[in-house]
């Protein structure tokens, strides 16, 4: 476990579809400072690795990059390998809704094989039917049991969280990330079912509000030790020695 507070899901940049939602590195670091967050996982909203790499360099050790890659790109596994081995990226991010694939489709297999070989976790956005359903993610996790799969948003509210809990019970390498889940009891139930060491705090900044997401976790009716896992210990355990080197 760790005393660090780590936000497992943040972004920099903006999307063409939502240009009014944007955040640069300085803005993200300011939010972290305001809320007592020590480190954060970051992905450039536009995808690829360049913007994420730049943010990581600008943050001087406080941000860890996950590469948002399109599995339809045949070069994506090589891009991931370079990002991890040469630029210190900590993981892979998949967004089935943006790139138009089912979360458990065969097209993701080359990227998952690369992530498994590199021993980095894979964050998968969930909650955008029909592409990113929790039980699809469970199926993916079962096909790649050596890969830690972080299910973003716990399936999203209002209804897919039911399957998110089932998915985590079904596949022991599925971890649940808490952003956009407004129902405290659902997160508490996840802790009861699979343990706090498989639950990860995330804010989804700038779409989510870091202060509100932190308040949600700190208000849970779980032990302080379990909160420590959620707020940093679980993710640090997944990143293992890699985080200490960056």
Whether the predicted pLDDT of 190 surpasses 90: yes
pLDDT over 90 for what percent of the chain?
89
Do 91 and 61 meet the contact criterion of CB atoms below 8 Å apart? no
Whether the predicted pLDDT of 148 surpasses 90: yes
User: Any residues with CB less than 8 A from the CB of 114 and at least 6 apart, and which?
Assistant: 77, 80, 81, 92
* pLDDT for the residue numbered 246: 57
Alpha-carbon distance 47 to 62, whole Å? 20
Domains and CATH numbers, the chain: 6-206 (3.20.20.140)
Do 156 and 182 meet the contact criterion of CB atoms below 8 Å apart? no
Q: Is 54 exposed, middle or buried (0-12, 13-18, 19+ CB in 10 A)?
A: middle
Alpha-carbon distance 55 to 43, whole Å? 9
Average pLDDT score, the chain: 95
Question: Which residues is 132 bridged to in the sheet?
Answer: 128
Taking residues 169-182, report their average pLDDT: 97
Taking residues 177-201, report their average pLDDT: 97
Q: How many Cα atoms within 13 Å fall on the side-chain side of residue 59?
A: 28
Whether the predicted pLDDT of 245 surpasses 60: no
Query: CA 197, 199, 205, 209 torsion: positive or negative?
Result: negative
* pLDDT for the residue numbered 244: 52
State the DSSP H helix or E strand holding residue 21, giving kind and residue range, or none if neither. Answer: strand 18-23
pLDDT for 57-113, tens place per residue?
Answer: 999 999 999 999 999 999 999 999 999 999 999 999 999 999 999 999 999 999 999
Taking residues 152-160, report their average pLDDT: 88
* pLDDT for the residue numbered 157: 72
Q: In what order do the strands lie in the sheet with 149-152?
A: 18-23, 6-15, 39-44, 63-68, 91-94, 122-125, 149-152, 174-177, 199-200
pLDDT for 13-58, tens place per residue?
Answer: 988 888 899 999 999 999 999 999 999 999 999 888 999 999 999 9
């Amino acid at each position: 476990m760790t005393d660090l507070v780590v936000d497992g899901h943040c972004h920099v940049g903006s999307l063409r579809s939502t240009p009014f939602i944007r955040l640069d590195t300085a803005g993200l670091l300011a939010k972290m400072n305001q809320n007592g967050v020590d480190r954060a996982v970051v992905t450039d909203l536009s995808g690829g690795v360049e913007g994420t790499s730049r943010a990581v360099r600008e943050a001087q050790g406080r941000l860890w990059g996950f590469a948002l890659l399109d599995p339809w790109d045949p070069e994506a596994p090589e891009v991931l390998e370079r990002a991890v081995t040469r630029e210190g990226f900590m993981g892979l991010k998949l967004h089935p809704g943006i790139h138009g694939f089912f979360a458990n489709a065969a097209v993701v297999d080359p990227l998952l094989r690369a992530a498994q070989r590199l021993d980095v976790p894979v964050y998968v956005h969930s909650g955008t039917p029909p592409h990113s359903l929790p039980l699809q993610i469970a199926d993916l996790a079962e096909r790649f049991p050596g890969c830690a799969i972080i299910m973003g948003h716990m399936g999203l509210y209002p209804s897919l969280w039911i399957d998110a809990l089932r998915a985590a019970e079904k596949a022991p390498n599925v971890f649940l990330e808490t952003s956009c889940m407004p129902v405290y009891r659902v997160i508490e139930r996840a802790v009861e079912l699979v343990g706090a060491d498989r639950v990860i705090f995330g804010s989804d900044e700038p779409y989510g509000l870091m202060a509100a997401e932190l308040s949600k976790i700190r208000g849970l009716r779980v032990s302080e030790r379990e909160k420590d896992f959620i707020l940093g210990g679980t993710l640090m355990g997944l990143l293992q020695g890699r985080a200490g080197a960056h």
